[in-house]
Amino acid sequence: MPALPDKQTAFIDWYLAVVDAATLTDKRYGVKGMNVWTPYGFLARRHLDAVLVREIEATGSSPVEFPALIPANEFAKEKEHIKGFDAEVYWVTKGGLSELDIPLILRPTSETAMYPIFALWVRSHRDLPLNVYQVVNVFRYETKTTRPFLRVREIHFFEEHTCQVDEAAADLRVRSNLDAFGRMAKAFALPYVAVRRPEWDKFAGAFYSIAFDIPVGAGRTLQIGSVHHYRENFSGPYGIQYETTDGTQRLVHQTTFGLSERLLGAIIAVHGDAKGAVFPTAVAPYEVVIVPIPSAGAGPGPEATATEVVDRLGRHGRRVHLDSGDERPGAKYYRWELQGVPVRLEIGRREAAARTATAVDRLGRKQTVSLDTLEGEVDAFLEEFDRALYDRALATFRDAFRVVPSMDGLKEFAHVGIVGWCGKEECGHAIETAVEGGLLGTPESELPLAPGAPVACISCGSGTDVRWALAGRPL
């Protein structure tokens, strides 16, 4: 196995090599940008999804599933939305041996599948709020270079859609979603910024959009999710209205919250290192691998002890894997480090005799664990690992931003820039040109730096209505 490319200087090459080496996906499928979820990658996705489901259901959202195919006429009802997606949808034009009367599109997102039904579900104020979500695959005919998990044509997708009584209630749902994402990101040990996108970069059909961005080195950023307020932009065309307590009809205000398999890409991109992938415990296909170290000698064998450890941790609810293959132990360590398993337990003859195991976490910390207190010690060791992983990610995150006081400073800049901006679109575009990237927007979460109040727009120099904005190079 050749060494991985250098993460700092060859990020994308490093990323692609890690995804391959960790056997998370198989890219050899016959359609570009549509990859195979291998068993190992699928398990990571399963555990990632479980976090999303747990956190969104804790906020009172219910699971649903709408069809994958959308009639072309429903798709066309909201004009901005169709403009945004027209060039990237797949068209189903034939069923069996005959042309379809009405062509169908494969959902690129599900507004236009759900909202005609929402119009039937919502009748009265008693039906509100309507908070539902689904975890499904969506399809986009992506023309840019595809990358596993980061940009694909069949996308594993999480989408919440809600209907609220009015704009203020929808604002509150947006806040609740931001909080829920905070809890999800914590489980993934991912520091991020929430950023209100500028007008020209909103979701197609949105009133406003707040996205979650993470820096991935050299000023590059990755959008890992977003929350949108639609106001009445969709409820109007789709006729989603309700009878208020005083008997009048009103359109609902809507919100959406979208996440995708890109989160898995982000976990690899942020936590991975020179040794390969690193999974936080919540997502790891296996939390613990047990490696018995065979050797000749008297006393209890390592294999029997390894089996006991696997059984006990499994009963304790841990995802454990016994690696009893015939490779030498060093080759096993190397492979499980590549695959990002949080903790391995080494059990040799010495450990077996002493009723212990040697625990080593993916960040290199080592500790002897007594079998008498195995479950509690492994729990604590994993907890410390997650904390250390988050701390490492946070240090890198904090170092990825710089306050930039002048347009010149943005050129060939290796950080995400924090810049003063007057809010005018022309200045925004000037900043985008200077950074050779995007004006990500204005922060909605605490900045990793505390730069005080902005003084002037970095572009026009105006001191009126200046706010901080982030400038970076979206991947």
| Dihedral angle of Cα 374, 379, 381, 382, to the nearest 10 degrees | 140
The dihedral region occupied by 436, where left means phi > 0, alpha psi between -120 and 50, and beta the remainder, is left
**DSSP secondary structure code for residue 124 in this structure:** B
Question: Is residue 139 close enough to count as binding a second copy by CB under 8 A?
Answer: yes
- The SS3 assignment for 183 reads helix
Only segment of 21-29, 265-273, 365-373, 432-440 that touches a second copy (CB under 8 A): 21-29
Q: Is 212 in contact with 260 (CB distance < 8 Å)? A: no
- Minimal distance, residue 312 CB to a second copy, in Å: 19
Q: Which of 1, 3, 87, 168 binds a second copy (CB under 8 A)?
A: 87
59 touches a second copy by CB under 8 A: no
Give min distance, CB of 126 to a second copy, in A.
10
**By CB under 8 A, residue 406 contacts a second copy:** no
**What distance in Å separates the CA atoms of residue 300 and residue 308, rounded to the nearest whole number?**
12
Instruction: Report the nearest approach of a second copy to the CB of residue 426 (Å).
Output: 30
Question: Does 144 engage in binding with a second copy (CB under 8 A)?
Answer: no
CA distance 148 to 23: 12
Bridge partners, 26 (sequence order): 36
Return the residue of 9, 10, 83, 91 that touches a second copy, per CB under 8 A.
91
CB of 238 vs a second copy, minimal distance in Å: 12
CB of 38: closest distance to a second copy in angstroms? 6
Nearest-5° angle of CA 182, CA 23, CA 39? 80
- Asked if 120 is part of the footprint of a second copy (rule: CB under 8 A), the reply reads yes
Regarding 71 and contact with a second copy (CB under 8 A), the answer is yes
Considering the rule CB under 8 A, would residue 63 count as an interface residue with a second copy?
yes
Of 56, 122, 132, 378, which lies in the binding site for a second copy, with binding defined by CB under 8 A?
132
Which stretch, 57-65, 159-167, 333-341, 434-442, contacts a second copy (CB under 8 A)?
A: 57-65
Q: Which is closer to a second copy, CB of 139 or CB of 257?
A: 139
What residues contact residue 101 under an 8 Å CB cut-off, 6+ apart? Answer: none
Sole binder of a second copy in the list 19, 104, 270, 404 (CB under 8 A): 104
21 sits near a second copy (criterion: CB under 8 A): no
Q: Is 311 in the site for a second copy (CB under 8 A)?
A: no
Residue 76 sits in the site that holds a second copy (CB under 8 A): no
Name the residue with tokens 């050797």: 295
Q: Is-contact 336 289, C-beta < 8 A?
A: yes
Q: How far is the CB of 225 from a second copy (least distance, A)?
A: 21
- Three-state SS annotation for 403-468: ECCCHHHHCCCCCEEEEEECCCHHHHHHHHHHHCCEEEEEECCCCCCCCCCCCCCCCCCCCCCCEE
Residue 223, interface with a second copy (CB under 8 A)?
no
Which listed residue (12, 16, 21, 69) binds a second copy by CB under 8 A? 69
Q: Which phi and psi (to 5°) does residue 255 adopt? A: -135, 155
Length of the chain as a residue count: 475
CB 213 within 8 A of CB 472: yes
| CB closer to a second copy out of 158 and 413 | 158
Q: Which residue has the tokens 């072309």?
A: 72
Exactly one of 1, 2, 93, 246 binds a second copy (CB under 8 A); which one?
93
Residues 23-42 that bind a second copy (CB under 8 A): 26, 28-31, 34-39, 42
Q: Which of 2, 96, 247, 330 binds a second copy (CB under 8 A)?
A: 96
Residues 6+ apart with CB under 8 A from 36: 25, 26, 27, 28, 29
Q: Minimum Å distance from CB 202 to a second copy?
A: 21
Closer to a second copy by CB, 60 or 463: give it.
60
- For residues 4 and 21, what is the distance between their CA atoms, to the nearest angstrom? 9
* Helices 11-21, 262-271: crossing angle, 10 deg rounding: 110
For residue 300 the two structure tokens come to 């209890």
- Provide the binding-site residues for a second copy, judged by CB under 8 A: 26, 28-31, 34-39, 42-43, 46, 62-71, 74, 86-97, 104, 106, 113, 116-117, 120-121, 132, 137, 139, 141, 143, 154
